[in-house]
Structure 1
């Protein structure tokens, strides 16, 4: 009985350790490399709560995109530089039945980009689109080619980057996964570890019962 009382805490501790490992995620993960979407309100950038395919900006709106490595929306890098509608759309007159949307496209830094790719310089563009157009429509009007993945995640603006889409990046800047296929998962090793512990417990309990019946 003493052996049994000692084995139960050991088994529980092992299972707890495996569960903690699963919840902690990959060691050294820094975030994800992706295009974040922003809206300009009151002279400040606000992280958009909807995707560009569903937002329908008003005439005179300013919206931005920034390519960077970010852990989440709270950590995301804002578009850099001035973002004034009057200056962005100074050469694009208003037209009946259309609206103008100022876009700020910040391709980020070389450190944030995929290996071997050089980001283009930051630029602005004024998109004149139908009155009911979405931000994605405005982007397509001035920044082709665009690239999306099968889940409608925006992967590239004006062809940048040429590869990858929302991949996970380690603290050392190395790619460690990709959201398009789920990336590497700890599910398999964690599952194997739990099964091994449970199997060991079952063998031990079977032996204990045989010993007690003798």
Structure 2
């Protein structure tokens, strides 16, 4: 009974965590592959699109990469870069989807989605292409991409829904999805992992044993 009494608060607090957050508000990074958007496996500062490639960025509230909202609208390289003649370097089509009013931070209104054709050097990255067509960009101290073309005005990867905003996830400039992506994926399973349950019970058991020893000595 003592073990259960000590373990219950620990398990109860852990179990409440997933319900406190419905997702994260952030810019996701996408690559066009065979006419479909695929979530980028690298961050924009390491991904190097080739000449004729199309990349996209979408601002939305998402729980993880599996349910992240894709860029909307036309994404045809030939149409986007029709007015940009071929030449030195490479041409990269960039699709910017600023999301919906529902996903916007309080007080902000998303700009209209747009496309642009960036001409960059042969070794330049997706971040270089983005910087050429969508300044100002804003990053935080951990290289998280916070704002494109000045949107949103404040905040960076906040947790939203069920409680106060807190630093969350997004796209890092250096390494693809943010480093806490795994933690967010774990929260989507709807309950604590066996390892965390075992750890909580072990801590409770140790506390119960210490309490029993103290009572025995006093007796």
User: Would you call these one fold, judging by a TM-score over 0.5?
Assistant: yes
Q: Cα distance 1:199–1:10, how it changes in 2: closer, same or farther (>3 A)? A: closer
Q: Which residue matches 2:168?
A: 179
Mapping for residues 73-84 of structure 1, pairs under 5 Å: 73-84=65-76
After superposing on structure 2, the runs of 4+ consecutive aligned residues of structure 1 that deviate more than 3 Å are: 194-205
Q: Does 1:14 align with 2:14?
A: no
SS in 1 for 2:22: strand
The whole-number CA distance in structure 2 between the counterparts of 1:25 and 1:55 is: 34
Q: Does 1:149 align with 2:140?
A: yes
Q: CA deviation at 1:19?
A: 3.8
Q: CA deviation at 1:207?
A: 2.3
The 8 Å contact of residues 167 and 175 in structure 1, kept in 2 or not, is answered as no
Mapping for residues 184-195 of structure 1, pairs under 5 Å: none
Equivalenced residues, count = 188
- Higher RCO, 1 vs 2 (CA within 8 Å, ≥6 residues apart): 2
Q: CA deviation at 1:14?
A: 3.1
- Give the TM-score taking structure 2 as reference length: 0.77
Q: Does 1:54 align with 2:8?
A: no
Match of 2:95 among 95, 104, 125: 104
Name the Cα RMSD after superposition: 2.5
The whole-number CA distance in structure 2 between the counterparts of 1:196 and 1:20 is: 13
Q: Which residue matches 1:170?
A: 161
The whole-number CA distance in structure 1 between the counterparts of 2:144 and 2:128 is: 15
The whole-number CA distance in structure 2 between the counterparts of 1:157 and 1:56 is: 19
The whole-number CA distance in structure 1 between the counterparts of 2:147 and 2:81 is: 23
SS in 2 for 1:69: strand
The C-alpha deviation readout for 1:55-104, integer Å capped at 9, x for no partner, is: 010000001000000000001000001100000001000112x1000000
The whole-number CA distance in structure 1 between the counterparts of 2:26 and 2:52 is: 26
Q: Which residue matches 2:17?
A: 25
The C-alpha deviation readout for 1:96-153, integer Å capped at 9, x for no partner, is: 2x10000000000011011000000000000001111100000000000000011111
Structure 1 unaligned spans of 5+: 1-8, 183-193
